[in-house]
Chains A and B, each alone.
Chain A
Amino acid sequence: MIREDEDAVRALRGALATAVRGHHLDPAVAEPAVARLEADPPRRGSAREYLAVAAACVVVAGTATGIYAATSSRSHPGTAAAPPPGSACDGAVVTGPLPEWARAGFSDPNPTMPHVMSASGQVVAILFANPLRAPARPDPNNKILWVTHDGSGGSLTIRARLEGSNRTAVQSVPDGPGPSIIDMPVAGCWQMTLTWPGHTDTIAIPYAP
């Protein structure tokens, strides 16, 4: 670039920087676009497309939440306290391919996710953060996707008892089994009784501090 052009670019940058100082996008400007996005059904894109958009948004804002893709679980190794041997939670969390009946909705046809199987093997809790945390953290949050083998649904009630204590907690997932945020008051192995219309099952899920 010739010297005169460099000077012109420098001057133009300075002029525009001064002109735009203090001007920010009014959030209302984006509202019609958000409404459009909500009105349009998601396109059944390829896994690559979904992951690329997700990755781009994580990079630009760091706020994107997980999508149903095998890479979306947020893992923080080295900070979790492993359940002690003999605990109901020992070895409960498996990071591996999901059962075939639990793969619906994932863009990856062979999703690998941390998950916990129920005692009967008829329910899987798919963890979108590993480990889950108690007390809960905002990012990643304690997102669990509950999937039933027979596809049954209805309001899900979770009655949890902390292993080795009398401490209990109750959570409900009105639209469950399905996606949920399940927070527990303290860390430890939580033995949960799951109840939804016509069904009951048990599962043990560890929460790290």
Chain B
Amino acid sequence: MTVVAEIDHQRTRRAQFEAFVSAHGDRLLHTAYGLCGDWQHAEDLVQQALLKTASRWDRIAGNPLGYAYRCLARANIDRWRVLRHRPEVLTDPTALTDGSSPTAARSTAARSTADVDERLALLSALQALPARQRAIVVLRYLQDLSEADTADVLGISVGAVKSGASRGLARLRAGTSITSQEGDS
């Protein structure tokens, strides 16, 4: 590659990367929040994921989003392993918010209905899942990845995705008041 071509290629890959961030940044942030339940940690996770994505940009070809998801999930599992030995327990459920600030969340909760309580309970229950199980639930059901894509992102088998998703949802149900309206199964 000539020097001129290389400079132009550099510009192009930067434009491509910035377009990728512009198109998927919010989605990655929301996924990260689902994984860790904390906006500050979510931004940290996204930053780590984007760094790794950038460093492999020329090699991840047509699926940079899948690779970024993988980085997010792995970074959160690593973080969870560390926290397991130095647990930080969220004692204030309103820290899992709609929100902008705990104050706003408390305010919302104050005028809340049972729906709000259930929502907070659900988010708390999600964060109580083991990290890998949580990643399966978030990717499979919140980001609508297929079982195969979820397995690929997490580096596990499709069977493990199926069982993890089933157990995760069962634990979410057990931790909240979700029941079928018709009560059948």
Contact = CB atoms under 8 A, between A and B. Distances in A.
B17 A15 contact: no
A64 B8 CA distance: 12
Interface in B98-157: 98-100, 118-120, 122-123, 126, 137, 141-142
Contacts of A13: 141-142
Interface stretch (A1-9, A80-88, A193-201): A1-9
Interface in A1-54: 2-5, 7-9, 11-16, 18-27, 29-30, 32-34, 36-38, 40-45, 48-50, 52-54
B124 to A, nearest CB: 10
A23 to B, nearest CB: 6
A29 B14 contact: no
Contacts of B5: 68, 104-106
Nearest to A151: B2
Contact of A29 (B8, B11, B46, B64): B46
Interface stretch (A55-63, A116-124, A158-166): A55-63
A68 B96 CA distance: 48
A33 B11 contact: no
A152 to B, nearest CB: 13
- Which of B1, B4, B57, B123 is the most central at the interface, judged by chain A CB atoms within 10 Å of its CB? B4
Contact of B30 (A4, A20, A57, A175): A20
Interface residues of B, number: 74
Interface residues of A, number: 62
Given A15-B119, A23-B33, A178-B4, A34 B142 contact: no
Contacts of A175: 4
Interface of A: 2-5, 7-9, 11-16, 18-27, 29-30, 32-34, 36-38, 40-45, 48-50, 52-57, 60-68, 104-106, 145, 175, 178-179
Given A16-B34, A25-B29, A53-B58, 15 more contacts: A4-B185, A5-B170, A7-B179, A7-B181, A12-B137, A14-B119, A19-B99, A29-B25, A34-B17, A38-B14, A41-B6, A42-B1, A53-B16, A53-B64, A57-B15
Q: Which 6 A-B pairs rank lowest in CB-CB distance, beginning with the nearest? A: A105-B5, A25-B25, A61-B19, A43-B58, A33-B50, A52-B62
